Amino acid sequence: MVMSEVRKIKFKVFRFNPAVDALPTWKVYEVEVDRGMTVLDVLLKIKEEKDPSLAVRYSCRQAVCGSCGMMINGKQRLACFTRVLELNSKVVVVEPLNNLPITRDLVTDFSDLFNKEKMVKPYIIRDDIEEMKNPTGMYLQKPEELLEYLQFADCIECGLCSSACPTYSTDHLFLTPMILNKAYRFSVDSRDKGLQYRLPIIDSEHGCWRCHFAAACSSVCPKGIDPAKSIQLLKKIITSAGIFKRMRKKEVQLTLRPHAAEPPT
Amino acid sequence: MKESTKMLLHYITGFLILITGATHLIANNLVRFNWIKDTLWYPMSQGVFLAAVLYHAMNGLRVILVELFPGSSSGKIISIILTVVGIIFFVFGLYFLLVIFGGR
Amino acid sequence: MGRRENKLGILGWLKLKGYSIEKLMYVAQRISGVGIIIFLLAHILNVGLVYAPTKELWEPPGIIGKAVLVILGIIVVFHTFNGVRLILAEYGFIVGKPRRAVYPYKMTSLSGRQRLAVYLVLAVFIIIFYFWIMVAFNLLGW
Q: What is the DSSP string of C86-129?
A: HHHHHTTSSS-------SSP--GGGSHHHHHHHHHHHHHHHHHH
User: Is residue A124 located within the same domain as residue A208?
Assistant: yes
- The C-alpha atoms of residue B48 and residue B14 are separated, in whole angstroms, by 12
Q: Is residue A250 part of a domain?
A: no
User: Is residue A88 located within the same domain as residue A116?
Assistant: no
Q: Please compute the mean of the pLDDT values over residues A28-52 and round it to a whole number.
A: 93
Q: What is the CATH number of the domain that holds A34?
A: 3.10.20.30
Strands A107-108 and A254-256, by their bridges, are: unpaired
Mutate to test the interface with C, among A62, A112, A161, A212 (most CBs of C within 10 A): A212
Contacts of A232 in chain C (CB under 8 A): 89-92, 95, 109
Nearest to B39 by CA among B27, B50, B48: B27
- The C-alpha atoms of residue C114 and residue A262 are separated, in whole angstroms, by 55
Q: Please compute the mean of the pLDDT values over residues C119-123 and round it to a whole number.
A: 94
Q: Is residue A256 part of a domain?
A: no
Q: Which chains touch B (3 or more CB pairs under 8 A)?
A: A, C
- The C-alpha atoms of residue B45 and residue B21 are separated, in whole angstroms, by 9
pLDDT (0 to 100) of residue C1: 45
For A49-58, A245-254, B39-48, B65-74, which range has the lowest pLDDT when averaged over its residues?
A245-254
Q: Does A237 touch chain B (CB under 8 A)?
A: no
Tell me the shortest Cα–Cα distance from B59 to chain A, in angstroms: 12
Please give the residue range of the domain that contains residue A75. 7-108
For residue C59, pLDDT beyond 50:
yes
User: pLDDT, tens digit, for every residue of A221-244?
Assistant: 999 999 999 999 999 999 988 777
A205 to chain B: nearest residue by CA? B3
pLDDT (0 to 100) of residue A2: 57
Q: Which residues of C66-80 are buried (b: 16+ CB within 10 A; e: fewer)?
A: bebbbebbbbbbbbb
Position with higher pLDDT, A249 vs B40: B40
Q: In chain C, which residues touch A (CB < 8 A)? A: 3-13, 15, 17-20, 22-23, 25-27, 29-30, 86, 89-92, 95-96, 98-103, 105-110
User: Is residue A121 located within the same domain as residue A238?
Assistant: yes
For residue C141, pLDDT beyond 70:
no
Q: Please compute the mean of the pLDDT values over residues B5-24 and round it to a whole number.
A: 94
For residue A24, pLDDT beyond 70:
yes
- The C-alpha atoms of residue A222 and residue A64 are separated, in whole angstroms, by 10
Q: Is residue A252 part of a domain?
A: no
A13 — phi, psi (to 5°)? -110, 135
Nearest to A181 by CA among A140, A141, A211: A211
Please give the residue range of the domain that contains residue C91. 2-140
For residue C135, pLDDT beyond 90:
no
Average predicted confidence (pLDDT) for chain A = 90
User: pLDDT, tens digit, for every residue of B80-93?
Assistant: 999 999 999 999 99
Specify the fold of B3-101: 3 helical TM bundles of succinate and fumarate reductases (1.20.1300)
Which of C6, C105, C108 is opposite residue A229, by nearest beta carbon?
C108
For residue C136, pLDDT beyond 80:
no
- Give the B:C interface size as CB pairs under 8 Å: 41
B11 and C80: CB-CB below 8 Å?
A: no
Contacts of A226 in chain C (CB under 8 A): 101, 107-110
Nearest to A72 by CA among A54, A57, A52, A91: A91
Q: In chain C, which residues touch B (CB < 8 A)? A: 10, 30, 33-34, 36-37, 40-41, 44-45, 47-48, 51-52, 80, 83-84, 87, 90-91
Q: Please compute the mean of the pLDDT values over residues A55-64 and round it to a whole number.
A: 93
For residue A37, pLDDT beyond 60:
yes
Residue C48: DSSP 8-state: I
pLDDT band at B5 (very low <50, low <70, confident <90, very high): very high
Which of B2, B8, B67 is opposite residue A171, by nearest beta carbon?
B67
- The C-alpha atoms of residue C7 and residue A192 are separated, in whole angstroms, by 35
How far is CA A121 from its chain centroid?
16
For residue A175, pLDDT beyond 60:
yes
Q: Is residue A87 part of a domain?
A: yes
Q: Provide the residue ranges of all domains of chain B, joining segments of one domain with +.
A: 3-101
- The C-alpha atoms of residue B80 and residue B58 are separated, in whole angstroms, by 11
Q: Which residues contact A96 (CB under 8 A, 6 or more apart)?
A: A14, A16, A70, A71, A102, A105, A106, A107, A108, C6
User: Is residue A84 located within the same domain as residue A119?
Assistant: no
- The C-alpha atoms of residue B103 and residue B92 are separated, in whole angstroms, by 18
- The C-alpha atoms of residue C15 and residue C10 are separated, in whole angstroms, by 9
Position with higher pLDDT, B66 vs A251: B66
User: Is residue A73 located within the same domain as residue A166?
Assistant: no
Q: Three-state secondary structure along A235-257?
A: HHHHHHHHCCCCCCCCCCCEEEC
pLDDT (0 to 100) of residue A241: 84
Residue B88 and residue C68 in contact, taking contact as beta carbons nearer than 8 Å: no
Helices (H) and strands (E) in chain B, counts: 3, 0
pLDDT (0 to 100) of residue A73: 94
What one-letter code names the amino acid at A65? C
What one-letter code names the amino acid at A232? Q
Helices (H) and strands (E) in chain A, counts: 10, 9
For residue A156, pLDDT beyond 60:
yes
B67 to chain A: nearest residue by CA? A171
Contacts of A214 in chain C (CB under 8 A): 19, 22-23, 25-27
Average predicted confidence (pLDDT) for chain B = 90
B8 and A173: CB-CB below 8 Å?
A: no
Three-state DSSP state, A148: helix
Beta bridge partners of A107: A104
User: Is residue A77 located within the same domain as residue A22?
Assistant: yes
For residue C76, pLDDT beyond 60:
yes
For residue B103, pLDDT beyond 70:
no
User: pLDDT, tens digit, for every residue of A201-218?
Assistant: 999 999 999 999 999 999
- The C-alpha atoms of residue A115 and residue A98 are separated, in whole angstroms, by 18
Q: Which residues contact C76 (CB under 8 A, 6 or more apart)?
A: C32, C36
Residue B100 and residue A207 in contact, taking contact as beta carbons nearer than 8 Å: no
Q: Please compute the mean of the pLDDT values over residues B4-30 and round it to a whole number.
A: 92
Q: Please compute the mean of the pLDDT values over residues C54-62 and round it to a whole number.
A: 76
User: Is residue A123 located within the same domain as residue A217?
Assistant: yes
pLDDT band at A137 (very low <50, low <70, confident <90, very high): confident
Q: Does A34 touch chain B (CB under 8 A)?
A: no
User: Is residue A73 located within the same domain as residue A87?
Assistant: yes
Three-state DSSP state, A31: strand
pLDDT band at A3 (very low <50, low <70, confident <90, very high): low
User: Is residue A144 located within the same domain as residue A235?
Assistant: yes
Residue A177 and residue A162 in contact, taking contact as beta carbons nearer than 8 Å: yes
Report how many domains make up chain A.
Answer: 2
Q: Which residues contact B82 (CB under 8 A, 6 or more apart)?
A: B58, B59, B61, B62, B65
A209 and B6: CB-CB below 8 Å?
A: yes
Share of chain C above pLDDT 90, in %: 44
Give, in degrees to the nearest 5, the angle at Cα A179 between A178 and A180: 95
